[in-house]
């Protein structure tokens, strides 16, 4: 009848985040609890973001989701965990214009349709799952009137994909690993907002938009099982580095920020190489970009650009200001001429989150 015809929707947009102190390795695979803290910068939503619309209607007879227009299965544990956690916290919702009243218990029976779009290649090492789960959890929480702060929501997004918890905030964000076995204290906090250090410019060189060969989840599992270097990193290196990074961010100390960022990226890839079988995420172009930036920084005496690489060959570079970002682009174009054998696929230039 008429009462079955209503539909309520919420649309949200969430940018991806780039870790400057990396998350790599879980101590609990189901709850997604990491072996160390991590720190990231959330990008502005112009280039690398997910837009998700969530809808509820009594005429829907199952939960369904479409990613970039193609239906995907929601049967995986990660989606189920996020949906269950959000439904369990749902509140009463009333839309007087539509004559709709949903009591919090009703959310257990009502079904959802979810449509999500990435404006960048999925799974190319450009952290699509981070923006995706953060956006999903945020949009569902709005739709269902979940009365929890962003940090609590981040702990739910974490159960979708670890790095997703950091995309609930803009600016600089820390994912605290937590001590609890249940994961209640493994959540994201904002270290500084997007206005704190707005000189920085992020330049991403898309070295390859192909899907990566080893998924982060599988790679991390192999690393935890086989790498001694990871244990040293998690226990001895990252705890100190996180404190130094927090101080560098607080003081807008680019020299220290760049040194820590590059060192942590390199150690993450060293840990990948220390894994059995070894994992190679960077390629020759990635290595050439590192050399170029290292040489430039050395010749200037103080770092101008920081680089960091995730689970793929694409280079994320953070320039100390706009002028430096311009010079960086010139140098990249000179060294990797467009339409040559060594050309880069694309550039993405952005700010921190706005
Ligand atoms: C990071 N990465 O801190 C690190 C650096 C990739 C390299 O978080 O298994 O997709 O879903 O928790 O979050 C990628 O791992 O892995 C990642 P799951 P996720 O950004």
Q: Give the range of the structural domain holding residue 7, as residue numbers without chain letter.
A: 2-192
Q: What is the pLDDT of residues 222-235, one digit of tens each?
A: 999 999 999 999 99
pLDDT recorded at residue 125: 53
Tell me: pLDDT of 129 over 90. no
Q: Is the ipTM of this complex over 0.90?
A: yes
Inter-residue contact 22 to 264 (CB < 8 Å): yes
Same domain, 178 and 215: no
CA 105 to chain centre: 32
Question: Distance, CA 136 to ligand 1 centroid (Å)?
Answer: 17
Same domain, 236 and 290: yes
Inter-residue contact 331 to 307 (CB < 8 Å): no
Inter-residue contact 139 to 65 (CB < 8 Å): no
Here the tokens at position 94 are 């009333």
Tell me: pLDDT of 137 over 90. yes
State the closest ligand 1 atom to the C-alpha of 34, by its place in the atom list counted from 1. 12
- Confidence label for 347 from pLDDT (cuts 50, 70 and 90): low
Q: How far apart are CA 114 and CA 167, in angstroms?
A: 19
Name every protein residue with a CB atom under 6 angstroms from any ligand 1 atom.
Answer: 19, 22-24, 32, 38, 129, 161-163, 216-217, 310-311
Residue in 311, 312, 313, 315 to alter for ligand 1 test, most ligand atoms within 8 A of Cβ: 311
Tell me: pLDDT of 349 over 80. no
pTM of the model: 0.94
State the closest ligand 1 atom to the C-alpha of 22, by its place in the atom list counted from 1. 3
| Summary mean pLDDT of the chain | 93
Which residue, among 345, 331, 340, 338, has the nearest Cα to 288 in the 3D structure? Answer: 331
- Confidence label for 121 from pLDDT (cuts 50, 70 and 90): low
Same domain, 323 and 177: no
Computed from CA positions of residues 193, 196, 199, 205, in that sequence, does the dihedral angle turn out positive or negative?
negative
Same domain, 44 and 179: yes
Tell me: pLDDT of 344 over 60. yes
Among 129, 160, 192, which residue terminates a domain? 192
Same domain, 10 and 100: yes
The mean per-residue pLDDT over the stretch 176-184 comes to: 96
Mind giving me the DSSP string for 328-341?
A: HHHHHHHHS-TTST
pLDDT recorded at residue 46: 80
- Residue with the bigger pLDDT between 339 and 269: it is 269
Among 132, 165, 192, which residue terminates a domain? 192
Question: Distance, CA 284 to ligand 1 centroid (Å)?
Answer: 22
Question: Distance, CA 125 to ligand 1 centroid (Å)?
Answer: 9
Same domain, 18 and 53: yes
Same domain, 26 and 86: yes
The CATH number assigned to the domain holding 224 equals 3.30.70.890
pLDDT recorded at residue 21: 98
Quickly count: other Cβ atoms within 10 Å of residue 117's Cβ: 16
Give the chain's end-to-end CA distance (angstroms, integer): 44
Residue in 165, 187, 204, 216 to alter for ligand 1 test, most ligand atoms within 8 A of Cβ: 216
Residue in 161, 166, 212 to alter for ligand 1 test, most ligand atoms within 8 A of Cβ: 161
Question: Distance, CA 162 to ligand 1 centroid (Å)?
Answer: 6
Tell me: pLDDT of 8 over 80. yes
Same domain, 42 and 128: yes
Same domain, 169 and 128: yes
Same domain, 241 and 93: no
Q: How far apart are CA 339 and CA 17, in angstroms?
A: 30
Going by alpha carbons, the residue nearest to atom 14 of ligand 1 is: 216
Among 192, 209, 232, which residue terminates a domain? 192
Q: How far apart are CA 29 and CA 107, in angstroms?
A: 28
The mean per-residue pLDDT over the stretch 52-78 comes to: 96
Show the beta-strand stretches assigned E in the chain: 8-15, 17-21, 26-28, 33-34, 38-42, 49-57, 64-67, 70-72, 93-95, 100-102, 111-118, 172-176, 187-192, 201-206, 305-308, 315-319, 346-350
Tell me: pLDDT of 354 over 60. no
Same domain, 149 and 217: no
Residues 6+ away with beta carbon under 8 Å from 124: 206, 208, 209, 210, 211, 212, 312, 314
- Angle of helix 77-87 relative to helix 150-157, nearest 10 degrees, comes to 150
Q: What is the pLDDT of residues 94-115, one digit of tens each?
A: 999 999 999 999 999 999 999 9
Same domain, 118 and 185: yes
Tally of structural domains, the chain: 2
Percent of the chain with pLDDT strictly greater than 70: 92
- Residue with the bigger pLDDT between 116 and 339: it is 116
Which residue, among 199, 174, 195, 206, has the nearest Cα to 41 in the 3D structure? Answer: 174
Q: How far apart are CA 281 and CA 270, in angstroms?
A: 10
Q: What is the pLDDT of residues 254-312, one digit of tens each?
A: 999 999 999 999 999 999 999 999 999 999 999 999 999 999 999 999 999 999 999 98
The CATH number assigned to the domain holding 26 equals 3.30.230.10
């Amino acid at each position: 009848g008429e009462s079955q015809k209503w539909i309520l929707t919420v649309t949200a947009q969430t940018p991806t985040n780039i870790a400057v102190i990396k998350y790599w390795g879980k101590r609990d695979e189901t709850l997604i609890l990491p072996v160390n803290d991590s720190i990231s910068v959330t990008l502005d939503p112009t280039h690398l973001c997910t837009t998700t619309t969530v809808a509820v209607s009594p005429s829907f007879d199952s939960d369904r989701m479409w990613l970039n227009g193609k239906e995907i299965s929601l049967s995986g544990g990660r989606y189920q965990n996020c949906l269950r956690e959000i439904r369990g916290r749902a509140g009463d919702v009333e839309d007087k214009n539509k004559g709709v009243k949903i009591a919090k218990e009703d959310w257990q029976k009502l079904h959802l349709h979810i449509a999500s779009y990435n404006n960048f290649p999925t799974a190319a090492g450009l952290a699509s799952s981070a923006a995706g789960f953060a956006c999903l959890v945020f949009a569902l929480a709005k739709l269902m009137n979940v009365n929890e702060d962003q940090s609590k929501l981040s702990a739910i997004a974490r159960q979708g994909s670890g790095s997703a918890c950091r995309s609930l905030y803009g600016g600089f964000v820390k994912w605290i690993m937590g001590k609890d076995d249940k994961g209640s204290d493994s959540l994201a906090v904002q270290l500084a907002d997007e206005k704190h250090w707005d000189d920085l410019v992020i330049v991403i060189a898309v070295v390859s938009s192909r899907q990566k060969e080893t998924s982060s989840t599988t790679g991390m599992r192999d690393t935890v099982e086989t790498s001694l270097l990871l244990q040293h990193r998690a226990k001895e290196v990252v705890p100190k580095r996180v404190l130094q990074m927090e101080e560098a961010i607080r003081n807008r100390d680019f020299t220290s920020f760049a040194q820590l960022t590059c060192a942590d990226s390199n150690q993450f890839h060293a840990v990948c190489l220390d894994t059995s079988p070894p994992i190679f995420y960077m390629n020759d172009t990635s290595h050439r970009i590192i050399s170029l930036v290292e040489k430039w920084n050395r010749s200037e005496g103080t770092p101008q650009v920081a680089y960091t690489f995730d689970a793929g060959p694409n280079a994320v570079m953070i320039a100390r200001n706009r002028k430096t970002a311009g010079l960086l682009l010139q140098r990249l174009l000179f060294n990797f001429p467009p339409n040559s054998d060594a050309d880069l696929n694309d550039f993405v230039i952005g700010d921190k989150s706005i």
